[in-house]
Amino acid sequence: MAASPAERIPERYSRRTVEVRDAHAELLADFRAGMLEPPRSLPPKYFYDARGSALFDAICDTPEYYPTRLEASLLERNAEAIIAAAGASTLVELGSGTSRKTEYLLAPLERAAGERAHYVANDVCAEILDEAGARLVERFPQLSIRALAGDYIAALEALTDDEAESGHGEARLFTFLGSSLGNFEDAEAIALLQTIRRTMGPDDHLLLGLDRVKPVDVLEAAYDDAAGVTAAFNLNLLSVLNRELGADFDERGFVHRAPFNHQASRIEMHLVAQAPQQVRVDAFDTTLELTAGEVIRTEISRKFDATMIDRLLAGSGLLRDREWLAGDGWYSLLMLRPDSEA
């Protein structure tokens, strides 16, 4: 039998699960809270079954989807300055995924710290962590990697409980990239930043990626590409619900929409019923009655201006240290440090 990716990785890589989740119970609770009555919504974490993950990778390669390219370009151009400003030997990444963009930071981290260079990668998918770990230990021969399989909060709690091991007693650079903070409402985003702040030591920093407000046609095209990849990604959620909950959503009866909500400054991903529908859901022994034009909101992606950023930081316990902007102001990397008075 062939060895698993984790078994083939040298001792410089280790992984552990930091939470025990009952994913089906979570889905039941979220469906009960958001789908049994209008207005209907679900959190975006249910996009990412095997097909959804593959479709998201394809979205990042579409010509319309600018966030990945802008952030990668900023990291590539400024990686040396970022690592120098942080003065860290350990990089902690929340939601690391494949860690492709992170390689821009790991290269100068290894050059600066040598055998002290340490990377803590967090993702909900253990398989992705193992695949990334196998690649990274080959590319960075002095880097040690610890993977934490679980959600953001579980990973941060593990770091707090095991700070000496995870931080090696030296400064750390936390990263939260991909403008993932934009998937949270204000209160949730501030609460997450506060949790990161509580995990940080006085010499640690946080590198935060934020997508900025820009022309509406650019925003809407990024989430509704001409090839229909994002539409397929959104509609795939119905297949997840059918499989996991014994539902009978008909994908052909819905269309993907991703309008920009000006008042809330965010893209909202919707699935829109094209005609009245009755959807049986065996897990709840119920039938949903959807009207023509009824919307299921599947994701928000907030686009930040300076006022919004200031509001988030004011309640976070974090202070702005410096900022790197894409040349057109379309994307930001913020370097934040703990507020000693918070």
Preceding omega of 215 cis (within 30 degrees of 0)? no
SS3 305: coil
In 3D, which of 95, 69, 193, 199 has the Cα closest to residue 149? 95
In 3D, which of 124, 122, 137 has the Cα closest to residue 6? 137
Residue 285 has phi, psi (to 5 degrees) of 50, 50
Sign of CA dihedral 184, 190, 147, 120: positive
pLDDT of residue 4: 55
Type and span of the H or E element at 139: helix 126-139
pLDDT of residue 202: 94
8 A C-beta contact, residue 173 and residue 207: yes
Over residues 23-37, the pLDDT tens digits come to 899 999 999 999 999
pLDDT of residue 7: 58
SS3 211: strand
Over residues 276-287, the pLDDT tens digits come to 999 999 999 999
pLDDT of residue 5: 53
pLDDT of residue 207: 98
How many whole angstroms separate alpha carbon 331 and alpha carbon 63? 17
Ranges in the chain, pLDDT < 70: 1-10, 162-169
- Which amino acid belongs to residue 10? P
- Residue corresponding to tokens 């946080």: 206
